[in-house]
């Protein structure tokens, strides 16, 4: 069971260190909360998308320590001594992230991979579009390993979990898969069959 961890730093390296130092406190303070939440203040000079930060954290942290939701703030509440006011953060409502908008994939590879994401993440297949981020849909680095294992099993070709961490948005992930796997024997034929079997999710994709 996850917890609300109050993450206050700007860079993924600082977020990682904050998680490692303060997760035990968060566990003790919020034992009944079911998800890990990270708060951050975007760097206005070099803003980064939440999914990019999530991908960095997934590469650096154990799966259980990766926030399920990243919440941007205009400023971080502080105590008089300069430390983050975690009690104030804990009272702020956590809004569910907006569902990605966009078109569903139409080719065989895209429909197959969308079905795999849906199955692994227990998400409605209709909620996954070409603009969906794996982490915003609810994925973790452990889920990325599961996705890669399922694709590898069907293709009989190594599909690295790092590819999904590198390109977490479905459109980019499909582009990377095509570039890496285009020489796989019978690639298009396998994708066509897999799309028919697994494309709507729910199967053991």
pLDDT digits (tens, 9 = 90+) for 101-132: 578 999 999 999 999 999 999 888 888 999 88
Model confidence band, residue 21 (pLDDT cutoffs 50, 70, 90): low
- pLDDT, residue 145, reads 94
Domains of the chain: 12-90 (3.30.300.30), 108-198 (1.10.1200.10)
- pLDDT, residue 53, reads 81
pLDDT digits (tens, 9 = 90+) for 129-143: 998 889 888 888 899
- pLDDT, residue 147, reads 96
CA–CA separation, 62 vs 163, rounded Å? 17
Between strands 69-72 and 37-40, the pairing is parallel
Model confidence band, residue 162 (pLDDT cutoffs 50, 70, 90): very high
- Model confidence pTM above 0.85: no
- pLDDT, residue 75, reads 86
Q: Is 12 helix (H, G, I), strand (E, B) or coil?
A: helix
- pLDDT, residue 163, reads 95
Burial 25-60, CB ≥16 within 10 A → b, else e: ebeebbeebeebbbbbeeeeeeeeebbbbbbbbbbb
Does 68 score more than 60 pLDDT? Answer: yes
Q: Is 69 helix (H, G, I), strand (E, B) or coil?
A: strand
More confident residue, 126 or 93: 126
Model confidence band, residue 17 (pLDDT cutoffs 50, 70, 90): low
Mean pLDDT of the chain: 79
Radius of gyration of the chain (CA): 18
Over range 155-178, report the average pLDDT. 94
């Amino acid at each position: 069971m996850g917890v609300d961890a109050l993450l206050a730093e700007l860079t993924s390296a600082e977020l990682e260190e904050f998680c490692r130092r303060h997760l035990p406190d968060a566990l003790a303070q919020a034992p009944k909360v079911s998800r890990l939440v990270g708060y951050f203040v975007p760097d206005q000079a070099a803003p980064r998308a939440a999914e990019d930060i999530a991908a960095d954290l997934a590469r650096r942290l154990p799966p259980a320590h990766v926030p399920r939701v990243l919440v941007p703030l205009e400023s971080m509440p502080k105590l008089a001594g300069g430390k983050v006011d975690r009690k104030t953060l804990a009272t702020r409502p956590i809004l569910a992230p907006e569902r990605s908008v966009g078109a569903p994939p139409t080719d065989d590879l895209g429909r197959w991979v969308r079905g795999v994401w849906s199955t692994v993440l227990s998400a409605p297949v209709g909620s996954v579009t070409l603009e969906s981020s794996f982490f915003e849909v609810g994925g973790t680095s452990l889920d990325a390993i599961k996705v890669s294992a399922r694709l590898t099993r069907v293709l009989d070709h190594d599909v690295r979990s790092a590819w999904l961490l590198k390109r977490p948005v479905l459109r980019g992930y499909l582009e990377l898969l095509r570039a890496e796997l285009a020489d796989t024997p019978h690639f298009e034929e396998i994708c066509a069959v897999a799309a028919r079997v697994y494309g709507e999710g729910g199967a053991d994709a």
